[in-house]
Amino acid sequence: MAAQNGKDLLIKLDMTDDGQFETIAGLRASRINFNAESVDVTSLESQGGWRELLGGAGVKSAGISGSGVFKDAATDERARQIFFDGETPRFQVIIPDFGIVEGRFQVTSIEYSGSHNGEATYEMSMASAGALNFTAL
C-alpha cells in the first residue's frame, strides 16, 4: 500500500439523523483509536505462572479526535448542540484505502483557542456510544 494523504482521513457527522454525512468543517488533523479491555483469568494453575486472558470478554471502545480552524459553519454549530444536549448521533470516519468506521459517538470535549496574531482554533473529542460497523474500501 502506498502512503496516504493525512487530509483524506475524514471525520463526518450525520447532521439530521437521515444518513447524510457531512465532513466536520475546518479540521486539519484527525485521529481514531480503538481499545479493548482485557479480562485476566490467571490462577495458581496457570502454566508457568503466565498471565491468561479471556478472549472475547471485556469492553470495546473507540475514540475520535480532531483539531482545526474554527469556521462557525453548520457542522460547528451541530457539534456544539450535540455536546450541550448530550446527544449520541452517528459519525463516520473515512480511513483512506482501509475502510469506513461508522457508529454512534458522544462529543466529550470541545476546546476553542486563539492567539492575538493567529486564527481561532478548536479541538474536539468523541467517545463511542454503541456498536461500531466497519466497511472495507
Q: Does 1 fall in a domain?
A: no
For the stretch 35-51, pLDDT in tens is 999 999 999 999 999 99
Which 3-state string (H, E, C) describes the chain?
CCCCCHHHCEEEEECCCCCCEEECCCEEEEEEEEEECCCECCCCCCHHHCCCECCCCCCEEEEEEEEEECCCCHHHHHHHHHHHHCCCCEEEEEECCCEEEEEEEEEEEEEEEECCCCCEEEEEEEEECCCCEEEEC
pLDDT of residue 1: 65
In a domain, 94, yes or no: yes
What's the pLDDT band for 55 if we cut at 50, 70, 90? very high
The total number of structural domains in the chain stands at: 1
pTM higher than 0.85, yes or no?
Answer: yes
Does position 71 have pLDDT exceeding 90, yes or no? no
| Mean pLDDT in residue range 23-38 | 93
Residue 66 reports pLDDT greater than 80? yes
Q: Tally the C-alpha atoms within 13 A of residue 133's C-alpha that lie toward its C-beta.
A: 8
Asked, for residue 27, whether it belongs to a domain, the answer is yes
114: containing domain = 6-136
